[in-house]
Amino acid sequence: MSESMRETLADVTQLGGTPNTPGDPAGAAGYGRPDSAESGVDGPVRHEEPATGIDPVAANVLYADHITIRFGGLTAVDDVSFAIPPRSVVSLIGPNGAGKTTFFNVLTGLYEATEGAVYLEGRDITAVKPHKRAAMGLARTFQNIRLFGLMTAEENVMVAMHSHLKAGVLSTIVRTPGQRREEREARDTARELLDYVGIGKTVGELARNLSYGDQRRLEIARAMALRPKVLLLDEPTAGMNPQESANFNDFVYRVRDEKGISVLLIEHDMSVIMKISERITVLDRGAKIAEGTPDDIRNNQQVIEAYLGKTGTREGKRLPAPGTTTTSPGTGPTTEEQA
């Protein structure tokens, strides 16, 4: 772990005010559930909080430092810093076209950031290729499911183990004892992961024949086969009914607590995010407009404006609190199903 104090970076968000270092379970445990709000900030959260003297690169599993992405003259993401502390569930939200997915793609390496840097566990991975980032522990799922449809569930999971397995061409042809053991262990791990996400019975099914919900689960199992440090979920509850999405919340916490994986969610469904996240970052038109606990975000004037339009035109409108069921007007992405 790098102990160097990075003056230039120290102005970046500290989460919850709790000092955190990787591998410090006490610090990690300090992250409460959304409702145990810590140091609620009133009003809009500024991009730069006062320096607390903690190196955000070292303190966070994943840290994106002042990312800017331009496509030609269009600035899709403008100077956004973003941190994922160890063992946390954080979210990135924003109206359609806010730059969420673009930002996500910078984290996974699909896009190159025009400016800024990405750090994974203190290492600068800005120039690292996507597949290497994945091998280093940055796993993702896809908004529109991208499984290997003609491979079985088990094989799908085993593909993601590619970077952990060592067998070469020759040892595969000869089938050396080492290769056999490796394959057997990989197969066992794949089955365990499928059990873990609750689709253990589908081992031998082709992925394309699974139900929609099971496909989403399989995507998560596949991502977890990378032994990730951070799990990036792109709109994971899209198409789920309320019951499924409630189960999903529990599942995310299980992943965080049992496996020690940090989870980043991208959603535009506010209701999911509000219930699940410890920390929320709101993007609008490529810029970070707010950051804080769900309560902060709920009361944040700028966020409300971004989602619902300027105050004054729709006075009194509030983003839905957890548990309530409000259907937002057309611009709002909230789509609460009534049970």
Residues in touch with another protein (CB under 8 A): 108, 110, 129-132, 134-135, 139-140, 142, 145-151, 155, 158-163, 165, 167, 169, 172-173, 175, 179, 183, 186, 191, 195, 200, 203, 206, 208-212, 215, 222-223, 225-226, 241, 335, 337-339
d(CA 222, CA 141): 9
Least CB distance to another protein at residue 251 (A)? 20
Cα–Cα distance between 301 and 83 in angstroms, integer?
A: 23
20 contacts 30 by C-beta, under 8 angstroms = yes
* Beta carbon of residue 122, minimum distance to another protein (angstroms, whole number): 20
The bridge status of strand 115-120 relative to strand 123-124 is antiparallel
Q: Smaller CB distance to another protein: residue 37 or 145?
A: 145
- What is the torsion angle, in degrees rounded to the nearest 10, for the CA atoms of residue 18, residue 20, residue 25 and residue 31? 40
Q: Which of 291, 247, 294, 248 is nearest to 275 (CA)?
A: 294
Name which of 144 and 313 has its Cβ closer to another protein: 144
Rounded to whole angstroms, what are the CA distances from 98 to 35, 45, 189, 314? 26, 18, 38, 21
Q: How many residues does the chain have?
A: 339
- Interhelix angle 177-196/212-224, rounded to 10 degrees, is 130
CA distance 222 to 142: 11
**Min. distance of Cβ 229 from another protein in angstroms?**
13
Least Cβ distance, residue 50 to another protein (angstroms): 37
State the minimum distance, in angstroms, from the CB of residue 24 to another protein. 28
If the CB atoms of residues 108 and 114 are measured against another protein, the closer one turns out to be 108
Residue 291 C-beta: closest distance to another protein, Å: 27
Query: Residue 18 or 141: which CB sits closer to another protein?
Result: 141
| Closer of 41 and 238 to another protein (Cβ) | 238
In this structure, what token pair is assigned to residue 218? 């399989």
How many angstroms separate the CA atoms of 293 and 277, rounded? 8
Least distance between another protein and beta carbon 241 (Å):
6
Nearer to another protein, 26 or 170 (CB): 170
Task: Name the residue nearer to another protein (CB basis): 218 or 289.
Answer: 218
